[in-house]
Amino acid sequence: MTIQTSQGRELFSKLEWELIESSFAPVVEMFPRSGLKSRLDRAKKYHRDSTDLVSLQHSESRKRTTRRKTELYAAAIARFEAALNSVDLTENAQSAPKSVRKSGVVEKSRTLNMDAVREHADRELKSRKSEVLSALAVHGEQQAQKSGARHIQSHTASVNRRQQGRRDSKNR
């Protein structure tokens, strides 16, 4: 289940959204085991809280929104658990036979994987930034069309001062 950034910011608080966003692929693979465990615990707490909140709410629209949050927390929990399992598998691979450890195969593959993860995270960050910038440009154009402005006006302050000067001189 995917969620757009704009939808996530509407549903979640800033801290909750950061937690959800950190559960996605390139970022979640960089956390150590302790970081994954703490994020998993926090996601489980938020999931419990939102599940309990549904029964207390009266409005159907609020219940629908809270259920959506609950589903997204469940998906984040699944991603954190999968990442935690992969970290456990990696730690088990480190306890490989001495002949494999001495050859450095495990360490080399780990550094290659981390480099690939960093490159992927950089590419995704750039694409997200470009999406945000293009969305801001579209929003700016829409606002200009609503107001009827055709272009950016310059020296508007001096025009107002001249007109005020003319009005002041008429009353003398």
Taken in order 130, 131, 136, 140, the sign of the CA dihedral is: positive
Tokens of 136: 């801001």
pLDDT at position 130 is 65
Q: Is residue 24 assigned to a domain?
A: yes
User: What range does the domain containing 127 cover?
Assistant: 97-144
Residues 107 and 66 occupy one common structural domain: no
Distance between the two ends of the chain, CA-based, in angstroms?
72
Burial classification of residue 50, based on how many CB atoms lie within 10 Å of its CB (0-12 exposed, 13-18 middle, 19 or more buried):
buried
Q: How confident is the model at residue 42 (pLDDT cuts 50, 70, 90)?
A: very high
Q: Which of 66, 109, 84 is nearest to 28 (CA)?
A: 84
What total number of domains does the chain contain?
2
Q: Are 73 and 43 a contacting pair, CB within 8 Å?
A: yes
Q: Are 75 and 29 within one domain?
A: yes
Of 77, 95, 113, the last residue of a domain is 95
Residue 150 lies in a domain: no
62-108 pLDDT per residue, tens: 999 999 999 999 999 999 998 888 888 777 766 655 555 555 555 55
Predicted TM-score of the model (pTM): 0.52
Domain shared by 82 and 109, yes or no: no
- Single out the residue in 58, 76, 95 at which a domain terminates: 95
Note whether 5 and 61 are same-domain residues.
Answer: yes
